[in-house]
């Protein structure tokens, strides 16, 4: 089945005519012979809109009652059963009313689309989720009905229903949008001219962005790489120098010359990190880009001009801003055209602006060597040339026997040049070549002991020496460069493995990452500062300001102290930053989840409380009310027995109501952690006997096994008595068996344990914890004996006194409830204390 298409009429504000345009389109399609039905329309009692409903097939709404109010909503099942070709569904972002089905209307629309039905719908810009906060800041009205941007962007067509702000206010003043009593308030609040102008601009920009995204998708699908000048996109190339600020401001001015112009900045770093930038300067320029409304990008490329131009083409940039070369004339003459010339050569149809700045051609120094070999090896190469040359000359003079020895001598000096090139690279090799050529001419070529290049072959030999030295040096330099990259990659992999291992072994993730950052880059100190004020420190940052500051998402900053990191180190740093951001996000999500747990439990208790108030409390309240009403009635003359019975009913009902309300208050205090506990030094016997009396139990009902030498306990006598009474009543209610329940007490390991043992059916092991949950009754079948709070309150009371309450199986069948409290040695004396648990 082919999926249906979705068209959306987008408006900047209510009343611009979205529904009207949707109905007009429905009539046009119906006149063309298309099968169109009106699945849902909200006319808002606007006569012109209501008039357009006539003539279209209308699917009846699904009617239901909610809180005594009759409501209606789209009957999705009926529309699917009707299976029209096109369905008109108004107000795409709204929430469905009633129970069952999808929560949002756009979810209903997706089902229609999946069924092959084309849909035309409407939405206002304030309902777009990404714009809700912007609209709130402008209008002051919070929008609760929103639709995800992804849903709207997935529409096959979005059409803007536009109306000027003044025209909308005129329509409002004529009573075409709201009834007369609401016009003045609307004009002075939401429908102010400035609000409507801003909303219209937001709608136009959002739609323009959507059109731009569609264009990029089309170009990608069709493999179009040439530049389409639909809008100016200015890209600024940053080198990490001070001139970057000048370039960014110039680029921002160029982008601002055209409506909708975009600004972006890009820095290219080479994989070997040899073209290192100043990290702090780049960080400052990144912040400047964001303040100017642009975006910052960092890419890695072997060849800077190629990487810049390729990125510009991928971004569909129309103009490229670069800085004039900072190289001196001497450096330019020696090294040839620079990066700027390469960019101009490769740019093609992209306009290139070369901006002059204060640092342009400021230097007069010779270009620095960017070889991959360390300085130590270069010095070793020079040393080998200076020492090896004279030694080789002495050795060759000692072996000289004939004129044919010149071949051996040339090859020997050539070998020396190759060895020097392998050790020290280009400059030592060239030095060795020059020195070898001159030495060969001075000591071994006639006329001896003079430096004379009399024959062209001698000059050729010298040139060959230098070429061989240069070629070997290039090979050595490339090998060293690749060796350095490979070594660094191994080190970075080991670093990331160490960081991950520290986290997996149970170390604090943030602390491990911060410590590893300091150790990996040999920094003086590292600080991670969270927006909440929490700080994680590794090393000794000292009192100086940070050398570099790296943002970690939107909620933290990583400060680096000690030295500026080169570009090669920043790749590993970027990986650590990503892990830090992931850890912070995980902590945020975990904190939110931990907050949701108690809220869910509190909501569950709150719902149960409401249910109890609405159901369990109604029965005794109704009985008491009926009895009192009957007693006060003057229409019926009751006898003494009848009046006594009514009074007893009222008394029992009010007593039951008092118990239920007390339990509800107690469970609320337990949930809030505000249960009042008054601990005193008491004897167990002083609690158990009143508990038996309160429960109305005698020797015929229960067996009592309480030794007389029990130690005293520190407990709240009132709460302890309520626990025992609850346990006794539960044992009698649920534990009917072959023998009477048993109430016993014992002392063990510094604790007093009170047991209430019954010999009934018992409770399965999987349900033992559930009996202590509020509003749970065993079996959940009896609604006449309480709220299911007894055991929950009893456990809460026990824990509030520093004790515990647990359920155990009775040997031979049944259930044993064990109340455990800490005992007090006889010689100890404890003053009464008041605690809050």
Query: How far is Cα 351 from Cα 354, in angstroms, rounded to an integer?
Result: 10
- Which of the four pLDDT bands, split at 50, 70 and 90, describes residue 132? confident
pLDDT tens digits for range 294-350: 888 877 777 788 888 888 887 778 889 988 876 655 555 544 566 777 888 888 778
pLDDT tens digits for range 779-809: 444 444 444 566 777 887 788 888 899 888 8
Over range 561-573, report the average pLDDT. Answer: 72
**pLDDT mean across residues, the chain:** 77
DSSP output for 789-828: -HHHHHHHHHHHTT-EEEEEEPTTSSEEEEEEEEEE-TT-
pLDDT tens digits for range 228-263: 555 678 999 988 788 888 888 888 888 877 666 788
Is 524:549 a contact under the CB 8 Å cutoff?
no
Query: Taking 70 as the threshold, does the pLDDT of residue 832 lie above it?
Result: no
Would you state the structure tokens that stand for residue 581, as one six-digit string?
A: 């951001």
- Which of the four pLDDT bands, split at 50, 70 and 90, describes residue 830? very low
- Which of the four pLDDT bands, split at 50, 70 and 90, describes residue 837? very low
Query: Taking 90 as the threshold, does the pLDDT of residue 612 lie above it?
Result: no
Left if phi > 0, otherwise alpha if psi is -120 to 50, otherwise beta: which for 161? beta
pLDDT for 245 equals: 87
pLDDT for 784 equals: 41
Over range 416-442, report the average pLDDT. Answer: 80
pLDDT for 101 equals: 79
Minimum mean pLDDT range among 468-472, 499-503, 636-640: 499-503
pTM listed for this prediction: 0.36
Farthest-apart Cα atoms in the chain, separation: 156
Domains of the chain with bracketed CATH:
6-221 (3.40.50.300), 233-355 (3.40.50.620), 375-482 (no CATH), 618-667 (no CATH), 675-836 (3.30.565.10)
Which percentage of the chain shows pLDDT scores above 70?
75
More confident residue, 774 or 9: 9
Helices (H), 673-716: 685-695
Please state the φ and ψ torsions of residue 778, each to the nearest 5 degrees.
Answer: -60, 115
pLDDT for 34 equals: 93
Q: Which residue has the tokens 């051996």?
A: 408
Query: Taking 50 as the threshold, does the pLDDT of residue 505 lie above it?
Result: no
pLDDT for 780 equals: 45
More confident residue, 423 or 481: 423
Query: How far is Cα 352 from Cα 347, in angstroms, rounded to an integer?
Result: 7
pLDDT for 782 equals: 43
The 10 Å CB-count burial string (b at 16+, else e) for 554-582 is: eebebbbbbeebbbbbbbbbeebbebbbe
Q: 60-64, 77-81, 393-397, 527-531: which has the highest mean pLDDT?
A: 77-81
Query: Taking 70 as the threshold, does the pLDDT of residue 611 lie above it?
Result: no
Query: How far is Cα 552 from Cα 556, in angstroms, rounded to an integer?
Result: 5
Query: How far is Cα 522 from Cα 109, in angstroms, rounded to an integer?
Result: 58
Q: Is 590 exposed, middle or buried (0-12, 13-18, 19+ CB in 10 A)?
A: exposed
Left if phi > 0, otherwise alpha if psi is -120 to 50, otherwise beta: which for 780? left
Please state the φ and ψ torsions of residue 525, each to the nearest 5 degrees.
Answer: -165, 160
More confident residue, 404 or 837: 404
**Angle between the N-to-C axes of helices 165-173 and 180-188, in degrees from 0 to 180, rounded to the nearest 10:** 150
């Amino acid at each position: 089945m082919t999926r249906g298409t979705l068209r959306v009429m987008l408006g900047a504000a209510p009343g611009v005519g979205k529904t009207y345009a949707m109905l007009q389109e429905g009539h046009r399609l119906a006149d063309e012979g298309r099968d169109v039905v009106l699945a849902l329309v909200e006319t808002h009692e606007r006569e012109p809109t209501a008039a357009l409903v006539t003539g279209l097939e209308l699917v009846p709404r699904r009617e239901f009652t909610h809180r005594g109010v009759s409501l209606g909503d789209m009957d999705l099942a009926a529309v699917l059963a009707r299976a029209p070709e096109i369905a008109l569904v108004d107000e795409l972002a709204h929430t469905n009313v009633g129970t069952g089905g999808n929560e949002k209307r756009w979810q209903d629309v997706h089902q229609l689309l999946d069924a092959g039905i084309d849909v035309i719908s409407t939405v206002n810009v304030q309902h777009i989720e990404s714009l809700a906060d912007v609209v709130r800041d402008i209008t002051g009205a919070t929008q609760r009905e929103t639709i995800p941007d992804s849903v709207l962007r997935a529409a096959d067509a979005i059409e803007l229903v536009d109306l000027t702000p003044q025209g909308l206010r005129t329509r409002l003043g004529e009573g075409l949008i709201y009834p007369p009593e609401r016009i003045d308030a609307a004009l002075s609040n939401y429908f102010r001219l400035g609000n409507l102008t801003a909303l219209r601009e937001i709608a136009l920009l959002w739609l323009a962005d959507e059109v731009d995204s569609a264009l990029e998708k089309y170009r990608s699908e069709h493999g179009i790489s040439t530049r389409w000048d639909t809008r100016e996109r200015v890209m600024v190339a940053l080198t990490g120098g001070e001139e970057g600020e000048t370039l960014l401001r110039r680029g921002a001015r160029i982008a601002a010359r055209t409506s909708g112009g975009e600004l972006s900045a890009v820095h290219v770093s080479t994989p070997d990190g040899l073209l290192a930038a100043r990290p702090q300067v780049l960080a400052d320029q990144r912040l400047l880009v964001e303040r100017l409304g642009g975006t910052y990008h960092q890419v890695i490329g072997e060849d800077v001009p190629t990487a810049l131009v390729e990125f510009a083409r991928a971004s569909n940039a129309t103009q490229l801003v670069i800085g004039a070369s900072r190289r001196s004339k001497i450096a330019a003459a020696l090294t040839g055209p620079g990066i700027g010339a390469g960019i101009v050569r490769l740019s093609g149809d992209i306009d290139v602006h070369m901006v002059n700045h204060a640092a342009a051609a400021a230097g007069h120094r010779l270009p620095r060597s960017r070889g991959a070999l360390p300085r130590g090896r270069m010095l070793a190469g020079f040393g080998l040339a200076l020492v090896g040359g004279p030694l080789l000359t002495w050795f060759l003079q000692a072996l000289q026997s004939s004129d044919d020895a010149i071949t051996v001598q040339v090859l020997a000096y050539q070998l020396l040049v190759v060895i020097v090139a392998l050790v020290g690279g280009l400059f030592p090799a060239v030095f060795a070549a020059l020195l070898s050529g001159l030495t060969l001419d001075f000591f071994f070529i006639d006329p001896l002991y003079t430096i004379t290049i009399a024959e062209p072959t001698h000059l050729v030999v010298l040139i060959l020496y230098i070429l061989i030295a240069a070629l070997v040096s290039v090979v050595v330099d490339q090998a060293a460069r690749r060796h350095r990259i490979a070594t660094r990659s191994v080190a970075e992999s080991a670093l990331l493995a160490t960081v991950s291992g520290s986290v997996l072994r149970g170390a604090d993730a943030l602390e491990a990452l911060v410590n590893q950052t300091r150790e990996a880059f040999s920094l003086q100190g590292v600080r991670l500062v969270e927006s909440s004020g929490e700080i994680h420190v590794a090393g000794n940052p000292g009192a100086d300001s940070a050398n570099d500051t790296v943002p970690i998402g939107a909620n933290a900053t990583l400060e680096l102290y000690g030295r500026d990191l080169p570009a090669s180190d920043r790749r590993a740093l970027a990986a650590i930053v990503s892990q830090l951001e992931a850890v912070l996000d995980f902590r945020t999500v975990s904190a939110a989840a931990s907050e949701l747990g108690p809220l869910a439990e509190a909501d569950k208790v709150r719902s149960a409380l409401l249910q109890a108030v609405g159901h369990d409390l109604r029965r005794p309240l109704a009985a008491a009310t009926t009895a009192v009403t009957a007693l006060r009635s003057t229409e019926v003359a009751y006898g003494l027995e009848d009046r006594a019975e009514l009074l007893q009913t009222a008394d029992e009902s009010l007593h039951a109501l008092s118990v239920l309300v007390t339990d509800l208050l107690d469970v609320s205090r337990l949930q809030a952690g505000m249960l009042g506990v008054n601990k005193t030094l008491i004897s167990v016997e002083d609690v158990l006997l009143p508990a038996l009396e309160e429960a109305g139990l005698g020797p015929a009902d229960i067996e009592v096994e309480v030794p007389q030498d029990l130690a005293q306990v520190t407990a709240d006598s009132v709460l302890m008595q309520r626990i025992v009474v609850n346990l006794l009543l539960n044992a009698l209610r649920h534990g009917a068996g072959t023998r009477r329940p048993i109430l016993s007490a014992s002392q063990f390991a510094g604790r007093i344990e009170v047991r209430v043992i019954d010999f009934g059916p018992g409770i399965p092991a999987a349900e033992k914890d559930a009996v202590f949950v509020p509003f749970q009754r065993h079996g959940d079948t009896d609604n006449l004996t309480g709220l299911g709070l007894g055991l929950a309150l009893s456990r809460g009371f026990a824990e509030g006194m520093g004790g515990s309450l647990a359920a155990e199986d009775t040997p031979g069948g049944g259930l044993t409830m064990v109340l455990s409290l800490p005992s007090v040695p006889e010689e100890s004396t404890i003053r009464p204390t008041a605690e809050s648990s």
